[in-house]
Structures are given as structure tokens and as C-alpha cells.
């Protein structure tokens, strides 16, 4: 799946009434989820995707530059370059993120993620898949399961969002991206342990196997088991 398709879940048209705020939100979502790691798409292309004026886009980029997420360079090789890097895992940061969110909102975010990601896997497993989509899913699986600790969260995000994107539903893909963003700061605050990577790899394999076998119930169960494990890991680090 190329970057253009992958970004479509987030960089979709914004509502006119809140164009600036929503543009900032969409760009920040793409950056924090690791959908853009080096440079934003060209200004003309980005404005067209978001359905906004280039003036509004420039204002949003300026705001993110002032907040330390982007570095804007002029000239032939210029553009808006990503400067954001996820903070190193820290139990203090995890507790702060939970405190900022609130335990009720955390529970709601985990419930929301469970609903939309299980639903996406169930829908995809119910959908006849051509060879290209099968290959894309297998490729995302290989990428996440071969990722090292430093790149694991980004590849894990790409794997989970690919399931929603491959359903062909922009609304479902956007919901899954939103659900992931709500827990991104929490996940980034948890150390990526090799044992957890290995355990998650087995679960990722089960998810893909169920989808490719066309078994919606098995796909839903596999995703539920995987996400319950993530929630348990969060609770463990908060204990």
C-alpha cells in the first residue's frame, strides 16, 4: 500500500466551518501516527486533499512549526519537514498521559478501539480479496513482525490501519486512525520489549490468517485477543 493510500484515512476533506482547527488536527494525526516521517506532501496536493485553501494550510503548518512538529524550509528543496519524534518510554509519561486523559476516557478509548478494529477485521474477512490486497496485507505483516524496537510502534500502527483501509471504507479507516491516535501517547510511553514483540507477532499472524481464510468470526476473535493483551499491558505498567 503506497503512502498516498495510507494517508487517505487521515488527510481527507475537512469541514469548512472549522477548517484551520481540523487541518491542524489532521496533520498532527498523520505525524503522530507515523504516517509521515520525513516531509509533508507538496502544498498544492495537500490543500487539494484536505479541500482547503493554501492560505489555511500555511496557517496550520505555521502553527505546527511553532509547536515544534515541523520545520519549514524554503527554496527548491524546501517543504514542511517533520521534526517530531515520539518520547522515549517512561512510566512517568504513561501516568501523566492517563491523568491528562482520565480513567473514564481511557476506558472509553479502549472500548472504541476494540469496536472499530474488530469490526474492520470482520468486514475485511467477509470481503472477497484480490491478489493485490492479499499481498498488501502480507507485506504489512512482514514489516511489523520484522521491525525492531525503535520502529515497532510505527509499523504496528501501519499494520492495524491497513486492515481498515483494505476494506475500502474511508469512514472505517478514519475511525480506526482516530481510535489509534487516542492511545498513541499511552503506547509510546510503554517500553517495547522483545518478548512482547514476539507474542504480538503470533497474534498478528492469527489475524491475517483468519482474514485471508475468509473467517469473520475468527478474525474478530483474533483482534479482540490482541487488543485485550495491549490493554492488559497498559494496566500492568500502571499498577
Q: Minimum mean pLDDT among 114-118, 129-133, 233-237: which range?
A: 233-237
Q: Would you say 117 and 223 are in contact if contact means Cβ atoms under 8 Å apart?
A: yes
What is the C-alpha separation between 41 and 188, in angstroms, rounded? Answer: 25
Torsion over CA: 152, 158, 159, 161 (sign): positive
pLDDT of residue 233: 77
pTM exceeds 0.85 for this model: no
Q: Over the stretch 147-191, which tens digit does the pLDDT of each residue have?
A: 888 888 889 999 999 999 999 998 999 899 999 988 887 887 777
**Phi/psi zone of residue 40: left (φ > 0), alpha (ψ -120 to 50 degrees), beta?**
beta
110-147: b or e for each residue (b if 16 or more CB lie within 10 Å)?
bebbbebbbbbbbbbbebebeeebeebbeebbebbbeb
What is the C-alpha separation between 175 and 171, in angstroms, rounded? Answer: 6
Q: Over the stretch 72-100, which tens digit does the pLDDT of each residue have?
A: 988 878 889 999 887 676 667 677 777 77
Task: Give 120's contacts (C-beta < 8 A, 6+ positions apart).
Answer: 163, 164, 167, 172, 173, 176
The residue among 87, 219, 208 whose CA lies nearest residue 143 is 208
pLDDT of residue 30: 86
Q: Over the stretch 35-56, which tens digit does the pLDDT of each residue have?
A: 887 889 888 999 998 889 999 9
Query: Could you tell me the pLDDT band of residue 12, with boundaries at 50, 70 and 90?
Result: confident
Amino acid at each position: 500500500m503506497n503512502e498516498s493510500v495510507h494517508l487517505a484515512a487521515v488527510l481527507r476533506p475537512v469541514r469548512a466551518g472549522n477548517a484551520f482547527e481540523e487541518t491542524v488536527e489532521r496533520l498532527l494525526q498523520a505525524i503522530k501516527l507515523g504516517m509521515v516521517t520525513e516531509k509533508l506532501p507538496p502544498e498544492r496536493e495537500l490543500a487539494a486533499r484536505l479541500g482547503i485553501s493554501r492560505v489555511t494550510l500555511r496557517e496550520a503548518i505555521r502553527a505546527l512549526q511553532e509547536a515544534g512538529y515541523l520545520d519549514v524550509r524554503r527554496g527548491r528543496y524546501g517543504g514542511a519537514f517533520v521534526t517530531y519524534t515520539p518520547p522515549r518510554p517512561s512510566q512517568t509519561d504513561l501516568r501523566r498521559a492517563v491523568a491528562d486523559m482520565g480513567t473514564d476516557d481511557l476506558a472509553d478509548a479502549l472500548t472504541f478501539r476494540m469496536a472499530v478494529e474488530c469490526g474492520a477485521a470482520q468486514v475485511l474477512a467477509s470481503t472477497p480479496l484480490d491478489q493485490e490486497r492479499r499481498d498488501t496485507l502480507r507485506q504489512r505483516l512482514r514489516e511489523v513482525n520484522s521491525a525492531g524496537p525503535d520502529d515497532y510502534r510505527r509499523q504496528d500502527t501501519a499494520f492495524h490501519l491497513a486492515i481498515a483501509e483494505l476494506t475500502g471504507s474511508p469512514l472505517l479507516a478514519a475511525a480506526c486512525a482516530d481510535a489509534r491516535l487516542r492511545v498513541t501517547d499511552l503506547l509510546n510511553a510503554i517500553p517495547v520489549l522483545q518478548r512482547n514483540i514476539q507474542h504480538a507477532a503470533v497474534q498478528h499472524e492469527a489475524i491475517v490468517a483468519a482474514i485471508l481464510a475468509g473467517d469473520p468470526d475468527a478474525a474478530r476473535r483474533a483482534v479482540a485477543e490482541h487488543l485485550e493483551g495491549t490493554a492488559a499491558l497498559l494496566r500492568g505498567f500502571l499498577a
